[in-house]
Amino acid sequence: MQENRKHLLGLEGVPAEEIKLILDTAESFKEVLDRPIPKVPTLRGKTIVNLFFEASTRTRFSFELAEKRLSADTLNFSTTASSVKKGETLRDTAQNIEAMKVDMVVIRHPASGAPHFLRHWIKGSVINAGDGCHEHPTQALLDMKTIQGIHNEFKGLRVAIVGDIIHSRVARSNIYGLTTMGAEVALCAPAPLIPYEAEKWNLKTFYNVDDAIAWADVLMVLRIQLERQSQNFFPTLREYHNYFGITRERLEKANKKITLMHPGPINRGIELDSDLADDPEYSVILDQVTNGVAIRMAILYLLSGETK
C-alpha cells in the first residue's frame, strides 16, 4: 500500500502495484477462511463502524464478516434505526462516531462523494462501500480477484460490461481497475444507459449484445437498477431482455468459453437468464461473493497500519 494511503475511496488513480498488493494479500486471507478456525487476531482492539445509508446484504455482510474474521469490534448503523431518521446530518453523524474513537468507517451512501466528504470529519480510515453512481472499489477488487482466479492474467483479457452502466458504481470502479491492470474493457448497453463520461474512458462500445459476447472473454452483467429508472431509459423490461438480456441461446451461439459475472442482486429473467446464473459452466457469481470477504479483509488489514 502506498505509504500515505489511509482511505479507499475509489479505484480511479490507484496504481497497478497497489491493486496487485491488495489481490495478493487477499490470497493469504482466502487461506485463512479455509481453516478449521477461520479467524485471526490481526485487528484485535480496533473498532470499525459500518455506516449503511442504503440497502445492502452482500456488501454489508461481507464487510461485517471480514471484520469479525480479523477480530475487530464492529458497530452497525443503518438509516432506518438511527438518528438520521430524526434529521441528523452526515457530518453530525460522523463527528459523533469520531467522538467514540472509531478506527475505521465503512460507508455506503446514495450520494456520490459522501465518503470523500466524510474523510474531512473523522480521523480514522474511510472505506467506500458504494457511493451513489460513483464508485464501489471493493466490489471491483473482488471481481478482479475472481477474474484472476480463472484467467491468471489481466493483460489482453477482454471484459465486456453489459447493462445499466450509467447508474453503475460497479462499472466505474471496474473500468478504472481493470484498465489499470492492462485488461481491455468494452461497454454494451442501449445508448441511453451509456454515460457521457464514456468518451473520456475511450472504450470500445457495443450496441449489439451478440457482438459483445463474440468479442469478450468475460461478461460482467449489471443489474437494471429499477429504483434509479426515474426517466425512461428504454421502453420496457421485456424489450430490454429481448435485445440485451444474456440468454443461454446467445452464449451457445458464441460457442466458446466465457466467464459470466454479476455483482448481484440479480433481476432473474431481465438482464440474465435464471438458469445461466446457476450454471457452473459459465457463472462465477458465488465465487465473487466468497472472494469478497477475503478482499475486504485485505483492505482492512492494509489500511489499518496507519491509524496510529
Partner 1 sequence: MERKVKAKIIDETGLKRTITRLSHEIVERNHGTEIIAAVGIRTRGAFVAERIVKEIERIESKKIPLGILDITMYRDDFRQRLKQPVLQQTDIPFNIDEKNIVLIDDVLYTGRTIRAALDALMSFGRPAQIQLAVLVDRGHRELPIKPDYVGKNIPTSIGEEIQVKLKEVDDEDCVLLVEAPLGEW
Q: Which residues bind partner 1 (CB under 8 A)?
A: 1, 3, 21, 24-25, 27-29, 31-32, 35-42, 45, 301-302, 304-306, 308
Identity of the residue, 31 or 210, whose beta carbon is nearer to partner 1 in the bound complex = 31
Minimum Å gap between C-beta 5 and partner 1 is: 10
Instruction: Return d(Cα 167, Cα 269) in angstroms, integer.
Output: 20
Identity of the residue, 27 or 98, whose beta carbon is nearer to partner 1 in the bound complex = 27
Identity of the residue, 24 or 199, whose beta carbon is nearer to partner 1 in the bound complex = 24
Identity of the residue, 1 or 162, whose beta carbon is nearer to partner 1 in the bound complex = 1
Q: What is the DSSP letter of 268?
A: B
Minimum Å gap between C-beta 106 and partner 1 is: 18
Identity of the residue, 23 or 260, whose beta carbon is nearer to partner 1 in the bound complex = 23
The C-alpha cell that represents 82 in the structure block = 438511527
Angle separating helix axes 137-151 and 285-304, nearest 10 degrees: 120
Instruction: Return d(Cα 234, Cα 252) in angstroms, integer.
Output: 26
Minimum Å gap between C-beta 71 and partner 1 is: 10
Minimum Å gap between C-beta 21 and partner 1 is: 7
Helices (H), 217-284: 237-244, 248-254, 274-277
31: helix, strand or coil: helix
Residue 20, judged by CB atoms within 10 A of its CB (0-12, 13-18, 19+), counts as middle
Instruction: Return d(Cα 248, Cα 271) in angstroms, integer.
Output: 12
Total residues belonging to the chain: 308
Instruction: Return d(Cα 89, Cα 110) in angstroms, integer.
Output: 14
Minimum Å gap between C-beta 35 and partner 1 is: 5
Minimum Å gap between C-beta 297 and partner 1 is: 9
